[in-house]
Amino acid sequence: MSLVTGIMVGGIYALVALGWVLIYKCSGVLNLAMGELTLIGAYVTYAFHQIGVPFFFAVLLTLLVGIILGFLTERIFLDRLIGEPILTVIMVTVGLSFFFKGAAQFIWGSDTRVFTPPVFSIKPLKVGYLLISPVYLWSFVLAIILLLVFVAFFKYTRWGLSMQATADDETAALSLGVSARFVYAAAWAIAFMSAGVGGALLGNINGINISVSYLGLLVLPAVVLGGLNSVPGAIVGGILIGLLQNFAGTYLDQFFPGGVKEIAPFVFMVIFLLFKPYGLWGWERIERV
């Protein structure tokens, strides 16, 4: 049971991890506001659902809102920082995390919200010898569909190829007429989309409150494990961290009570970095002096 649940939750983590990877891959910036992007997506989907929009269409509207917020965030706060030191941009993302969290609390408050009526049935589905909660199953299916859509976007569309070209060699991409400003804005838009839908799915499982932002941050070990600039690594890393978290909760909580499943991914990340600093598929940068 822990194996199946871990894989399904890991699929949602992979969707959020994609947002981390995209921004880092295109700009070299570690976006420390990803948890708050996840939180906003959860609340936006909840708001649409509460006014009567079916959950599936609420998710589609959240994707649209994510595009708008992503472009606005990049244009207002980050566009003028292109070419500035990376640390400066990272600190701006820290400021954005507090801004988004404060805005969410101001609009929706700090009470836990749940989707009413429930989106998914509470009656477990029997698959062979396994009993699977519908919320985990359908959240996993939706996460995988969106991951496939994003992967196809990067592989087959002109915009997606432009983003990959900029990530691989910004100077060469600029010489070919690719707009770096557009690429960075698109990366933030897609990060908002993927993190937002991930937040909506996590909100269905755990309810929505300010802690959803911490669940978004929990995805960081998945990003590090797969490699900060690897899209396939984000998918594999998300599933592996989902498995690790659920196994830790099942087998270690009885010996170390007090939230070991939240700590285990970060402990594993620290140990993993000692032996594989660039992740499983990250680029190894070699500097010659």
**160 lies in some domain:** yes
In single-letter form, the type of residue at position 140 comes to F
**106 lies in some domain:** yes
**pTM of the predicted structure, to 2 decimals:** 0.87
User: Per-residue pLDDT tens for 167-195?
Assistant: 666 677 777 777 778 888 888 898 899 88
For residue 280, give the 3-state DSSP assignment. Answer: coil
Most confident of the following: 23-27, 32-36, 123-127, 140-144: 32-36
**127 lies in some domain:** yes
pLDDT at 202: 86
pLDDT above 90 for 62: yes
Going from the C-alpha of 35 to that of each of 58, 99, 108, 116, the distances in angstroms are 20, 12, 17, 24
Which band of pLDDT confidence, cut at 50, 70 and 90, is reported for residue 283?
low
> How far does CA 4 lie from the centroid of its chain?
20
Which band of pLDDT confidence, cut at 50, 70 and 90, is reported for residue 285?
low
In DSSP notation, 177-219 reads T--HHHHHHHHHHHHHHHHHHHHHHHHHHH-BSTTHHHHHHTT
Are 46 and 110 in contact by the 8 Å Cβ rule? The answer is no
pLDDT above 60 for 42: yes
CA distance 240 to 138: 19
CA neighbor of 49 nearest in space, from 107, 104, 118: 118
pLDDT over 70 percentage in the chain? 94
Which band of pLDDT confidence, cut at 50, 70 and 90, is reported for residue 203?
confident
pLDDT at 69: 93
Q: Give the CATH number of the domain where residue 142 resides.
A: 1.10.3470
Domain count, the chain: 1
pLDDT above 60 for 242: yes
CA distance 132 to 151: 27
Angle, alpha carbons 281-287-289 (nearest 5°): 170
pLDDT at 273: 86
- How many alpha carbons lie under 13 Å from residue 156 in its C-beta half-sphere? 6
The helix, strand and coil proportions of the chain, stated in percent and rounded to the nearest 5, come to: 75, 5, 25
pLDDT over 90 percentage in the chain? 19
**281 lies in some domain:** no
Dihedral angle over CA of 229, 227, 230, 140, nearest 10:
-120
**280 lies in some domain:** no
> Mean of the per-residue pLDDT values for the chain?
84
**286 lies in some domain:** no
Which band of pLDDT confidence, cut at 50, 70 and 90, is reported for residue 49?
very high
pLDDT at 275: 87
pLDDT at 19: 85
**75 lies in some domain:** yes
pLDDT at 1: 64
**213 lies in some domain:** yes
Q: Which residues contact 77 (CB under 8 A, 6 or more apart)?
A: 92, 96
pLDDT at 98: 92
Least-confidence region, from 72-76, 124-128, 136-140 = 124-128
pLDDT above 70 for 12: yes
pLDDT at 157: 84
Going from the C-alpha of 59 to that of each of 146, 179, 193, 289, the distances in angstroms are 11, 29, 10, 50
CA distance 189 to 192: 5
Q: Give residue 79's domain range.
A: 2-275
